[in-house]
Amino acid sequence: MNRRLLVIEDNEQNMYLMQFLLEKNGFEVVGADDGARGVEAALACDPLAILLDIQLPGMDGYAVAAALRKQATLAATPIIAVTSYAMVGDRERILAAGAVGYIEKPINPETFVAEIIQYFSPRWDKAEA
Ligand code: MN
């Protein structure tokens, strides 16, 4: 069963925290620290879901989401935005770019895993069956 998640995040502390929480809950984490590497990793590792920071060097999260949505093999892979970029309209903009959900930083260690699982649990249940 695939319990692999791709985390695209340039901030080391956030990456460390997400990886720690996810691995503690039995997920395998593949990390990418910029958008271009994130797209490459998504194609290479076939993740269950993708956690995507919006503010990234070079290619931002909107561009990454759009690039991921163009890949036929990733068409069913949920993208969950994880960002502090919480200006009015940003939520709509990242959902329009192809994300299924949006989580605001700072990451709450108590609720983070439950929050992200809600966005891909239907797919996960299918993989477990
Ligand atoms: Mn960032």
CA–centroid distance, 21 to ligand 1, in Å, is 18
Average pLDDT by stretches of 10, the chain with 129 residues: 91 97 97 97 96 94 96 94 78 92 93 93 59
In a domain, 96, yes or no: yes
Residue 104 exposed, middle or buried by CB count within 10 Å (0-12, 13-18, 19+): middle
CA–centroid distance, 10 to ligand 1, in Å, is 5
Output the pLDDT for position 129. Answer: 45
Output the pLDDT for position 123. Answer: 63
Give the pTM: 0.92
| Neighbour-count burial for 6-33, b at 16+ CB within 10 Å, e otherwise | bbbbbeeebbebbbebbeeeebebbbbb
Question: CATH code at 119?
Answer: 3.40.50.2300
Per the structure, the complete domain to which residue 114 belongs is given by 4-124
**DSSP codes of every residue in 53-64:** -SS-SSS-HHHH
Six-digit token pair at 38? 């994130």
CA–centroid distance, 14 to ligand 1, in Å, is 9
> How many domains does the chain fold into?
1
Dihedral sign (CA 43, 46, 50, 56): negative
State the maximum Cα–Cα separation within the chain, in Å, rounded to a whole number: 40
Output the pLDDT for position 36. Answer: 97
In a domain, 129, yes or no: no
In a domain, 69, yes or no: yes
